[in-house]
Structure 1
């Protein structure tokens, strides 16, 4: 009983931390799960045909010329069904699933591209193959059993009752008590796919049978959470208490969980029951961010916990989610780096010092320090940190690698020296490979960071005695990073000397070129490949693929050095031994990519076909990408305004002007649609990267839906994407689950595709267009008269009938909000879609000024939704926010009447609860500008500064002390703004005439110049864009708003001695001094630069 009373009192241990962190974790942003909505009634099926009631409407398509031989392509437009508004729900609990899938399969068959599909398996029927192979099996079970039985598979799993791993056991315990922290989706694929980790509660008797075979802290904690804490929580609730029976059960459970054996185990590791209660308090936090703050708070009050927080707690937080919030990962990163490098764990007070190189922690590295965690856990920490670093903070990869390099250099027990060296060599090479994986945001811009991180590991490996060898795996990681780098100066000069003919041998264009050596002809990636060969590793097909992208084919003829990623799906099946076979599909994919023009790529593709090799999806995808980018180049008349050379990006260049340089092919390159028909006739459907690219480049809504119909998405997935429901409500649970299963890249491309065609210009002749159709966020969506599909919109565009006005934008918002994912890209595309004219032509009810002001408030509202879900806005989203604000300010200045009318709509939307994140909405234009500045500055601070609430929560003030010994640092900025983002922010501040804000930003740019310079140099036009940003800074500080500058000198200054200008405006004088004192920003922009910028902005 005493133990029971001790645990009861310890459950409120958060009160011991009063002043540092509240029990509710107020500092954390708690995401709100999507609200569930009732399912929508289905359409009735025609009794004779099984198809929905439909009317034939031709989908606009162009006739296509013949391509290379293929069969069974549609030649005429066909009818597509439309959903009847008076439909009833047929057999909802018996055949709904199978009927729906069959309906969508039939609809997809009407696509001209789908009719070209011939399955690769001759015994397979084309109609049955289209989408059915990936349709969930529950649709078939519903037809037989009435409803899906989700309990039967779990009962089978219970019957096994095999022991779980400690991590699986802890995860099940948390789910059993109903705890849902953020969106738990374990980063470890083995745990995530384990059938033993169930979402439904597990009976206690089964739970105990699945206890891990070995005793560990995770097991004790899991059993406390599962069997003890529910009674404690109930006893602490006001007016509830605990009765005698419950007390007896609780006492019994306490005896089992904290038995003598477990107490001895805890004591041997210098832990106690109080520590277990504290760990449960951490893991039961509402968000990961709150959980990390609680860990730091426990370390702050270490007097109550003798040994501190065990490392498996932060490791569990790192591994339990595939994508963390940036602020949560920042804290976990710094905490973990201390553990890896052998320093004492940080507390909240350690975050008080932030220097120009990042947050610095003043914990000195002890002499002969060793990591405080075992080697396997150190590797797990590093692997998880690298995973999340690629997702949310690419700059942190260097610091993670440096921490692991410190571990490599720590002295070890000489008794197991050989074993330790093997362990270190194996994992060092493993991390060289992991450091080559592309980052989620700006993968190419992160290549330099990954290179520095790899160099840090290589130096630590070379420092070891004996030197740790670089294995084939490590070399491949280094080669992959070099392939993703931009060309060096020598490599660019070599690329400019390539002949326009094929193969592109060096061509001497000037006399001095004859004296030029071989500099740049062998790219850095090629040099590493050669070094790998000299180290004794023979070339395999993987190295051959890399060599083709690095500029040299397998026959030692030159190709185009191509910057890109070595896709794992294309090289996964390549053998590691020297095969001597040049015909692996991945090699042909590389050859097609390493070309400049469509004819060069087409010649490679025809060579692949001439070898009678089996058709492969990757080869067709590479060729289709070339055709897509050719279409974009034709639209721009092959005008490449950037400094890009062939191979710098996906751009396709024009054919040589001289006919003798044009490569000969026996068949002209096809159009994109012709090629897709050929691909489908070979049994290959668009998927993955190609499907995303097709959706983004679709010229019409109908054509994009045609691409979707012939893709490898299941019928259920297309149904979830394309059903526009009659009631404005989020999709039901089944549709949400289907949406969650769609790959991020495809879902993002689909959202971008919908936003592209969300305008209503073609529907202006209709009488039922109103504000709710154009601005669904502010006005609240208007209820539709019928449930329909996007296919009906594609058919009825511009035709007056009884269809409702297309609600593509409303549907897009509904899809994004229904999907339970923290992947930010769909939200960014939605913001871009909102930040444009809904009606671009003159309209009597919706002027352009009114649209811009309303669009700004909708963008702010959607950003509020993102914050509530814990989704980071990011640099791209912030850039969209700045552009939307600039347009709104311009409307407020130039169209005050329209702005006043728009603000009336906004005020009404706030009162009706449609806008809940525009807290300071007002009917005054001045308030619009000031509130907008507050929003922009707040988000910019979140992007580049440490969250100040961490320090405020503990009442800590910055205290910069002299450091002792080596330091642990992390990057100074969560995100490094690109020159384009800074330029957008400067223009936004300038449009609002915020001179103080501009000057404050300039001071920060001066302090952060080294980091900004390194970021700008990763872009071909980065230096030029940064210069434009500095010129804009001068223009807007000197003349607020950038107006009234034409017709007079843009500079008014006096000089004392003819050398240093003296400005009468102190702000302008300070700006001049900062720019002149910072080499990266200087010199001070000239009058000519200012005039050119003004003309550029007005143009």
Structure 2
């Protein structure tokens, strides 16, 4: 039924633009071939899956052909539906006789790593009117997601393969047999996804010569004038930190005084001591101070995590996170949404440890005297509140910088952090900003999956905090916000009609017991 359909039937806007260029007399080269593959059509006029991507800064001159040929094959692998189709493209490249390249292996590793999407049960050609108003948030098309599509139900639609699709380790062994050294993006991806610690160390050892040997010196624990953190690409430095933190563990209360070990002792500790892996990642950040923010986020994430750890470590982890944030401030590196959310979570765990009485007197005084002001300062810097103090006049509107709107998860964590610290003035200040930018906040929440539900949880958490309910002890109403502040906060929330007003008591009870997530109402439901 599709044999009569030609290019015009499924041409994307990007593909149409390329054809307008050709019609105007522009002679396309390899770069345009790569763009055309992602736009929906291969060089042999066979269709591909339209896929969004960011093409590298490589020109279409003949001198860059050796860089563009691997990118063309990588594009063919990425613009497939199933892993079988991707593997068929990979095997076609091997049969072409062209040399193996890291970019081609990276495209295939991506297909193997990301899980297969679940098969949709939606009827493709349904005329059921009852389903027209249901929000289908799980149905996505190939090219809109990183996950591979399951193989067709009928084997008649299978693409022929001369050998079965390998696993992660099988493809890694094939790469080693082809004498392809992992570097740059491929090395970063493999470090972030490798299933075993020894495998990651082997990858670093294979790539010890790249970046003029700096990766090898960092692996061996050698840090001198020949090694610089900023001389290694930020994404690769982040991948090394992520690898160390992912396989490391934190058993001791603090490692403020750790320092680089001699190379021989470093190699032995790196392979046998998982606590040292996290310590070494911490030392790398403190020593090199990269300007790539995600590298810092990896360290903060492992410190903020509470899985499998005692609550007594919460205070030590919190102080380490504060120290890391101060290091970022010294190099003029602002926090982003993710780091702000992690700091809020770490603050909440530290405050819970104080409430349980498991903190020392000095730690208790430190948390109660500095935690709230730190969160407020970080939030104001994140949203640009200092530049949003006064409402602009009509003639100044064009020069006003729009505030940054954090996601609903960040706002929810901020409310929880201020709530457990009993900072009711901070909650009132947040509510003033919250309602002033309600349109932007709502649009930001509706732009992501489960955003409406998280926004509603933020409102419920706000009422729980104002009522004096504890997040650990259920509905403890022994203390709460002063009556005037509570009334002001409630009035501000009720002024936003599309949020449905002040959340009902039943939702507060559900939230305090952890049951709200099992019965999520829409935003505004009371």
Q: Same fold (TM over 0.5)?
A: yes
Aligned match of 1:943: 382
Aligned match of 1:992: 421
The answer to whether the aligner puts 1:733 opposite 2:240 as a matched pair is no
- SS at structure 2 position matched to 1:652: coil
Measured against aligned partners, the alpha-carbon deviations of 1:426-469 in whole angstroms (never above 9, x if no partner) come to xxxxxxxxxxxxxxxxxxxxxxxxxxxxxxxxxxxxxxxxxxxx
Aligned match of 2:297: 828
The answer to whether the aligner puts 1:1025 opposite 2:504 as a matched pair is no
1:543 and 1:1079 map into 2 onto residues whose CA distance is: 51
- SS at structure 1 position matched to 2:242: helix
Aligned match of 2:80: 595
The answer to whether the aligner puts 1:981 opposite 2:413 as a matched pair is no
The answer to whether the aligner puts 1:885 opposite 2:347 as a matched pair is yes
Q: How does 1:367-766 map to 2 (within 5 A)?
A: 522-530=11-19, 532=21, 537=26, 539-568=28-57, 572-573=59-60, 584-630=69-115, 645-711=141-207, 713=210, 716-724=213-221, 731-735=223-227, 737=228, 739-759=229-249
1:929 and 1:812 map into 2 onto residues whose CA distance is: 29
Per chain length, whose mean CA-contact separation is higher, i.e. which structure has more relative contact order (CA < 8 Å, sep 6+)?
Answer: 1
Aligned match of 1:865: 327
Q: How does 1:814-825 map to 2 (within 5 A)?
A: 814-819=283-288, 821-825=290-294
What's the offset of the Cα at 1:748?
1.0
Equivalent residues of 2:348, 2:416 under 8 A apart = yes
Structure 1 alignment gaps of length 5 or more: 1-498, 506-517, 726-730, 762-770, 798-804, 842-847, 904-921, 952-956, 1049-1063
Q: How does 1:59-70 map to 2 (within 5 A)?
A: none
Q: How does 1:20-31 map to 2 (within 5 A)?
A: none
2:424 and 2:336 map into 1 onto residues whose CA distance is: 25
Measured against aligned partners, the alpha-carbon deviations of 1:633-683 in whole angstroms (never above 9, x if no partner) come to 69x999xx9665532342334434554444432211112222223223333
Given the superposition, is the C-alpha separation of residues 719 and 709 from structure 1 closer, same or farther in structure 2, using an over 3 Å criterion? closer
Given the superposition, is the C-alpha separation of residues 795 and 854 from structure 1 closer, same or farther in structure 2, using an over 3 Å criterion? closer
- SS at structure 2 position matched to 1:665: coil
1:1026 and 1:701 map into 2 onto residues whose CA distance is: 39
1:881 and 1:704 map into 2 onto residues whose CA distance is: 29
1:796 and 1:1047 map into 2 onto residues whose CA distance is: 46
- SS at structure 2 position matched to 1:613: coil
1:597 and 1:787 map into 2 onto residues whose CA distance is: 46
Q: How does 1:110-259 map to 2 (within 5 A)?
A: none
Equivalent residues of 1:597, 1:653 under 8 A apart = yes
1:1015 and 1:984 map into 2 onto residues whose CA distance is: 16
2:225 and 2:276 map into 1 onto residues whose CA distance is: 22
What's the offset of the Cα at 1:944?
1.7
Given the superposition, is the C-alpha separation of residues 657 and 923 from structure 1 closer, same or farther in structure 2, using an over 3 Å criterion? same
Equivalent residues of 1:999, 1:1071 under 8 A apart = yes
Which residue of 351, 359, 362 maps to 1:899? 359
Aligned match of 2:524: none
Aligned match of 2:402: 972
Given the superposition, is the C-alpha separation of residues 958 and 869 from structure 1 closer, same or farther in structure 2, using an over 3 Å criterion? same
Equivalent residues of 2:77, 2:86 under 8 A apart = yes
Aligned match of 2:268: 792
Equivalent residues of 2:345, 2:413 under 8 A apart = yes
RMSD: 4.2
- SS at structure 2 position matched to 1:1041: coil
What's the offset of the Cα at 1:555?
4.8
What's the offset of the Cα at 1:756?
1.6
1:533 and 1:1088 map into 2 onto residues whose CA distance is: 64
Equivalent residues of 1:793, 1:806 under 8 A apart = no
- SS at structure 2 position matched to 1:750: helix
1:526 and 1:862 map into 2 onto residues whose CA distance is: 46
The structure richer in helix per residue is 2
TM-score by length of 2: 0.79
1:660 and 1:992 map into 2 onto residues whose CA distance is: 63
Equivalent residues of 1:875, 1:943 under 8 A apart = yes
Structure 2 alignment gaps of length 5 or more: 121-136, 519-526
1:795 and 1:607 map into 2 onto residues whose CA distance is: 39
1:791 and 1:783 map into 2 onto residues whose CA distance is: 11
Equivalent residues of 2:408, 2:454 under 8 A apart = yes
What's the offset of the Cα at 1:873?
2.1
What's the offset of the Cα at 1:809?
2.7
